[in-house]
Amino acid sequence: MRPLCTRFGARLAVALTTLVLVFSVAGSALAQVATAKANPSADDIEKAKNHMAAGVAFMQDPDGARYEEAYPEFRKAYELSGSLNALQNLAICAQKLELDGEAITYYEMVLDKKGDDLAENEKAQMERDLAALKAVVAWVTLSSDRPGVQVVDERTPRRGIPIRNRYEIGLQPKRLGLHPGNHKLVAKA
């Protein structure tokens, strides 16, 4: 598949107010994968603990898990501290939010770095989730003729409300792992 900027370069170059792509994913990324600090300070660790606690609170909400709110908390906790527990929760949130490409990456990282320390049933569940994601993910590569283009991916499930994920694309191709279904991508500069 040719990059978006090659196929639609003229439209993107003219003004790129809005570009809409509609396609169907039958199931055959990466948005921005979190990276951890190499040597977190004591202050970073303390901040990470606060973000981790907030993420856990969102996941344990009495009205039901709030993955959308928990996701950035676990992401920040992992970025600040490199906590593998934060990374594991980040993988779960990414899967629940249908950020399949990120979920695959995070599950692989957890299994690689923490796999031997996981309870047998927990490791088996992660491996099943990872295998299921890999079996159905559709990889799409997007790029633009300018940096800072915001792409909103909207997938409408059979039941429930549409699921929206946001990505930033630019000059370098970005690989997104999309959940099976009908997607509408809207790009704005």
Are the CB atoms for 104 and 145 separated by under 8 Å? Answer: no
Q: Tokens 């909103």 sit at which residue?
A: 152
Are the CB atoms for 178 and 102 separated by under 8 Å? Answer: no
Q: Pairing between strand 181-188 and 149-155?
A: antiparallel
Mark 87-121 as b/e (b = at least 16 C-beta within 10 Å): bbbbbbbbbebbbbbbbbbbbebbbeebeeebeee
pTM comes to 0.80
The dihedrals phi and psi of 72, each to the nearest 5 degrees, come to -65, -25
Q: What is the pLDDT of residue 34?
A: 78
Of 148, 140, 139, nearest to 171 (Cα)?
148
Mean pLDDT per block of 10 residues along the chain (189 residues) reads 41 35 36 77 96 98 97 97 96 96 97 94 97 97 94 90 93 93 92
Q: Residues 42-136: name the CATH superfamily.
A: Tetratricopeptide repeat domain (1.25.40.10)
Q: What is the pLDDT of residue 174?
A: 93
> Could you tell me the residue ranges of all domains in the chain?
4-28+138-188, 42-136
Q: What is the pLDDT of residue 36?
A: 80
